[in-house]
Amino acid sequence: MTKIAVYPGTFDPITNGHLDLMKRGLKIFDQIIVAVAENPQKQTLFSLQQRIDMVNEVTKDMKTIQVMTLDKLVVDFSRDHSATVILRGLRAISDFEYEVQLASINRSMEPSIESVFMSPAEEYSFLSSSIVKDIARHNGDTSKYVHPSVSASLREKYLK
C-alpha cells in the first residue's frame, strides 16, 4: 500500500528547512503532497500561485512530491487524497505548543489520520520564512537559506 503524507503549510516562501523536512519525510513515506494553504488570515508576501510555483520549481526533480492548494481543513484534504499522515516540522521548543494543539484538534476531527513530527538538520532549526523575508527586505543575502529561484523571487519582490 502506498503511504501518502500531506505536508501542509503557508510556504511564504519555501525555505531549505522545508525542503530538508520533505527529504526526511520521503525516507518514511512513498509520496508527499505539499499542501500550500490559501490562508486568508495570514498576510502573505507571495500570492498563492507564486508560492505554489516556487515549491514546484524547488521540488521539480523529486518525483514523489506533489504540490497542491490547501483550500479546506487538512483532515478533509488528507482524506480526499488518501493520505494517512500529516507531516509537520518541529524546530525549537517554541513550535511545540502550537503543533501539539493542532495535532490534537486534527485527531479529534479525524482519529484515523496521524500527525508525524520531524526535526530538520541543526543548521535549519532556526530558519523560518519570516526570517528569510526580513533578510531579503534589508537587502541581505538569502542564498544559504533558500533555493536560488526563491532568492531571485525575493529580490524581485523587494526591488519593487
Which residues are tagged catalytic? 18, 42, 91, 129
Binding span for ligand ADP by CB under 6 A among 71-79, 107-115, 120-128, 150-158: 120-128
Q: Cβ–Cβ contacts within 10 Å for residue 137, how many?
A: 12
CB 147 within 8 A of CB 139: no
Q: Does 128 bind ligand ADP (CB under 6 A)?
A: yes
Which H or E run contains 34?
strand 31-37
Residue 141 Cα to chain centre, angstroms? 22
Report the C-alpha gap between 6 and 13 in whole angstroms: 18
Q: Does 110 bind ligand ADP (CB under 6 A)?
A: no
Report the C-alpha gap between 19 and 124 in whole angstroms: 10
Q: Does 9 bind ligand ADP (CB under 6 A)?
A: yes
Contacting ligand ADP within 62-101 (CB under 6 A):
88-89, 91, 95
Q: Does 133 bind ligand ADP (CB under 6 A)?
A: no
| Shortest distance, position 120 Cβ to ligand ADP, whole Å | 3
Residues that bind ligand ADP (CB under 6 A): 9-11, 15, 17-18, 21, 88-89, 91, 95, 120, 124, 127-129
